[in-house]
Amino acid sequence: MTKTANQTLLIGGGNMGRAILWGYKTNGGEMSNISIIDPFMDAQDATDLGIGALYRAYDDIPGDLKFATCVLATKPQVFEDASRPVSNVLSDDALIVSIMAGVTSARIIQTIGRPVPVVRCMPNMAASVQKSVNVAFATDASRKDQFEALFSGSGPVSWVDDEDDIHATTAVSGSGPAYFFAFVEAMGKAGELAGLDRQFAQDLAIDTLIGAAELLKQDRAPAKLRESVTSKGGTTAAALEQFAMHNNLNAIVMDAVMAAQSRSKEL
């Protein structure tokens, strides 16, 4: 007898895939229905996650096991080789979910070799603490609930109607945590240069970001908040003048987001 009920296969057990699963687990998801195929994943990581099975190759999957959901969590560069055999282990009405940057639904369907509903999602690493920004596009709107049952534990889900918008959301929210990490890292180094202990300066930068984030949660108006903490002629104003000089900060952020968007399209 073929087993299909609620079975999910994750292809690729890297950082992002595991972050999604931690969110799912924390939200009370049934981990025994999750399988991972990854030739390199540490078996202890699989045990810690509590998944049903870790397979090293497609041939290791029992012939009577068919998956109702398949999550493509490989790097885009190896997607075709890693995903081409997946059709053999899918149920007839399976849903494909992709968290890969740049790989279109049409390309996914072409590689799998049969018409399947696809949800493309661009989460970020905050999924592991249930704070991911999950932006998704569905080729079949009727499968949104199936997707959200798996992903909503990692953070709120926002849907877009145009698949091309995924490139932009990849650049803003998908890659975005790294931008803030880099900024906090730079603030810590600047504090050290100003004479503070290295770890103390880094901790100050981190805790300042956390506090600023809490303020933004209460009032989602960054320009207003910036103005409210900037006294004319004060220290904050002096710092912001340096950011604004020759439009440096806006230009750097714009260039960074455009570079990430272009790379998503190249992939």
Give residue-wise pLDDT tens across range 141-153: 999 999 999 999 9
Question: Residue type at 256?
Answer: A
pLDDT over 70, % of the chain: 97
Residue range 117-140: mean pLDDT, rounded: 94
All CATH 1.10.3730.10 domain ranges of the chain, comma separated, are 176-266
Instruction: Tell me whether strands 134-138 and 118-122 are parallel, antiparallel or unpaired.
Output: antiparallel
State pLDDT tens for residues 72-86.
Answer: 999 888 989 888 899
**CB contact at 8 A, 240 and 226:** yes
pLDDT band at 248 (very low <50, low <70, confident <90, very high): confident
CA 240 to chain centre: 31
Mean pLDDT for 243-262 is: 86
Strands (E), 43-89: 53-55, 67-72
The CATH number of the domain covering residues in 176-266: 1.10.3730.10
Return residue ranges of the chain for CATH 3.40.50.720. Answer: 8-166
Q: Over 80: is that where the pLDDT of 3 sits? A: no
Q: Which CATH architecture fits 8-166?
A: 3-Layer(aba) Sandwich (3.40)
**Residue 97, beta-bridge partner list:** 71, 119
What stretches of the chain show up as alpha helix (H) in DSSP? Answer: 15-26, 43-49, 79-83, 105-112, 144-151, 165-169, 176-193, 198-218, 222-228, 235-244, 248-266
Mean pLDDT estimate for the chain = 93
pTM of the model as a whole: 0.87
